[in-house]
A and B are shown apart, each in its own frame.
Chain A
Amino acid sequence: MPKFIPYHRMPEKGLLPAVMVYGPGIRIWHWLNALSVVVLAITGYFIGIPPPSAIGDTSSLYVMGWIRLLHLAFGYTFALLAIMRLWLVFAEGGISHQLFLPAIWRKVWFDGFLRQIQWNLLLGGPLRYVGLNPLANVAMLTMFVIPGAIIILTGFAMYAEVTGHDSWQYLLFGWVTMLFGNTLDLHVFHRLAMWVMVWFSMAHIYIAVREDILSRQTVVSTMLSGERQFRD
């Protein structure tokens, strides 16, 4: 797989050779990340709005404790996966850098962006790309990467509140609380960022399936095999 495949739109007609776009690292990352997002969203929702009260003896129940443990464990996983994802940009190349850096300065990219909007308004036909389509790229950056960064920062800042002033979490992330003043805002932003990511998941899954059906290129299976195949 070549290093750093730039943004590239394919001809609209014709059967084209398949291109390897995702290395094994990116594919493993994607599915582990999807799993941790699901676990984090569910446990996180219940930390904010707990499930109905557990009935039984307090000394033997640990419902919120386990929910928090899962959330914290997958929170660490999510953060480590984020670091892994950044490392993979350099380790595996391919189109993995496009997630963080849409080629907005290139005219062909912006043209593709407008064409992609038209296609989603059912004007014009589907387009094919080697890498990410510009609209998806913008959505991934604004609705996944940025909220993800906010979630990691605010998440560790809240964890620093638990571990205390002497912890490394406080040393590294204590300043985040300063941006908000009232730590309640920190919690609310964490939750809002989660909802943005839930919206992203809705759009992401729907569009992936839709494009796979209509756009004469593989999208869903590309994240399994790493190969983008083109149909006629």
Chain B
Amino acid sequence: MSKHETFYDVIRQRGVSRREFLGFCAVTATTLGLGPAGAMTVAHAMETKPRIPVLWLHGLECTCCSESFLRSGHPQASEIITSMISLDYDDVIMAAAGDQAEEIVHDIIRDYRGEYILAIEGNIPLANDGMCCIVGGRPFRQQFDEAAKHAKAIIAWGTCASSGCVQAARPNPTKATPVHKLVSHVPVINVPGCPPIAEVMTGVLSYILTYDRLPELDNQLRPKMFYSQRVHDKCYRRAHFDAGQFVEKWDDDGARQGWCLYKMGCRGPTTYNACASMGWNEGTSFPIKSGHGCIGCSEEGYFDRGPFYERLPDMQQWGVESNADKIAVAGAAVLGSAIAIQTGATLVKRILTGKSLKDTPIEDAPETPGNQK
């Protein structure tokens, strides 16, 4: 692989026409919100900049991120993107195996020190010296540390790498730890979602290639262009929320009419993701559109915020099925009983001691108010 080979060279060799190439650039520019001139910026970058070598490592994960990435919507996008970045190592899709494959990792770290992008899918289990995830006969932790140390930037694919996801759910027996907690000197981009939307993944990569810098990130290290709005903000059922029309049961008339799924536990109002605007599978649909509430898969600790079909999450600190309102009712009941008991006891005491206002002799009252006895 020549260091100066550009993305454009590669796709021309593959028989993609210039017309198709410019079409891809236009779609990418639009996805990234770059405006009409952006297409040419993208095209120029692809024609002139050397391809970025990418190491794609898999930790404790389920490969749903890769599955999503390979289904990137725009025609040929998966092919284009996989040639755009020089995906030198990805054990899911590469042909090499064994020592030969592991050799590639070493070569890239050695040859492209400080220049390659490290894409991490899944997270790093720390319990038992990392024995819960073994890659190439060694704990994944070791491979990750070696690769992370000399990377230009790290992309943490999916909720696993961003915040832990299912394998970090309580009690987190393998001590699965997200990427950004283990890296200090290399910039990290979190691209959460279980999995992230394919076009979001390719969009992040395209941005890095086009501008040779990382996209603007929010305070949880997520690219603002895709994660600055909640699913609720762009939801096409939002009008039913504002109107106060909710699905109350899965088989009621509201469900048939496509009313808001808020009462069915939809996490749209607390989930930052681009599902409602970009959609999945080439914009075909997204969970709410197919009649199921959002489960908030791109949020930190979402798996511990169940049940997914109830508005209020369980608060297991106070018992398995308690939630904020049940705690409130219990507290109010205790307080109400205390009030009733105290009032009753006061009355009983008054009756028993025979003390009441009538017993106060009128003569004892001082004649002038304010007169101290």
Contact = CB atoms under 8 A, between A and B. Distances in A.
Interface in A158-199: 161-162, 164-165, 174-175, 177-178, 181-188, 191-192, 195, 198-199
Given A50-B262, A120-B342, A202-B336, A15 B218 contact: no
Contact of A202 (B270, B335, B364): B335
A73 B296 CA distance: 29
A14 B372 contact: yes
Contact of A188 (B242, B244, B312, B346): B312
Interface stretch (A61-69, A86-94, A102-110): A61-69
A17 interface: yes
B33 interface: no
Interface string B213-251: 000001110001000111001000001111111101000
A83 interface: no
B373 A14 contact: yes
Given A50-B244, A50-B262, A183 B270 contact: yes
B228 A49 contact: no
Tell me if A's interface is mostly helix, strand, loop or mixed.
Answer: helix
Interface residues of B, number: 59
Nearest to B252: A53
A175 B312 CA distance: 23
Contacts of A210: 342-343, 346
A185 B302 CA distance: 10
A76 to B, nearest CB: 20
Contact of B267 (A15, A51, A184): A184
B365 interface: yes
Nearest to A18: B370
A14 B230 CA distance: 64
A206 interface: yes
Contact of A182 (B224, B228, B299, B369): B299
A87 B343 CA distance: 37
Interface stretch (B39-47, B169-177, B282-290, B326-334): B326-334
A199 B332 contact: yes
A53 B332 contact: no
A16 interface: yes
A58 B237 CA distance: 11
Contacts of A16: 370, 372
B301 A202 contact: no
A61 to B, nearest CB: 4
Contacts of B267: 184
A54 B299 contact: no
Interface string A121-160: 0100000000000000000000000000000000000000
Given A64-B242, A164-B229, A182-B305, A175 B373 contact: no
A199 B331 contact: yes
B339 interface: yes
A100 to B, nearest CB: 24
B244 A206 contact: no
B335 A203 contact: yes
B373 A232 contact: yes
A164 B254 contact: no
Contact of A13 (B301, B331, B373): B373
Given A50-B244, A188-B312, A195-B331, A182 B270 contact: yes
Contacts of A178: 219-220
Considering residues B163, B245, B336, which has the most beta carbons from chain A within 10 angstroms of its beta carbon?
B245
A160 B370 CA distance: 55
A214 interface: yes
Contacts of A206: 339
A48 interface: yes
9 contacts: A15-B369, A17-B372, A120-B342, A178-B220, A181-B163, A181-B299, A184-B299, A191-B324, A203-B339
Given A185-B305, A198-B328, A199-B335, 5 more contacts: A54-B243, A165-B218, A178-B220, A195-B324, A210-B342
Interface of B: 163, 218-220, 224, 228-230, 233, 239-246, 248, 254, 259, 262-263, 267, 269-272, 296, 299-302, 305, 311-313, 315, 324-325, 327-328, 331-332, 335-336, 339, 342-343, 345-346, 349, 364-366, 369-373
Interface of A: 13-18, 48-54, 56, 58-59, 61-65, 67, 120, 122, 161-162, 164-165, 174-175, 177-178, 181-188, 191-192, 195, 198-199, 202-203, 206, 210, 214, 232
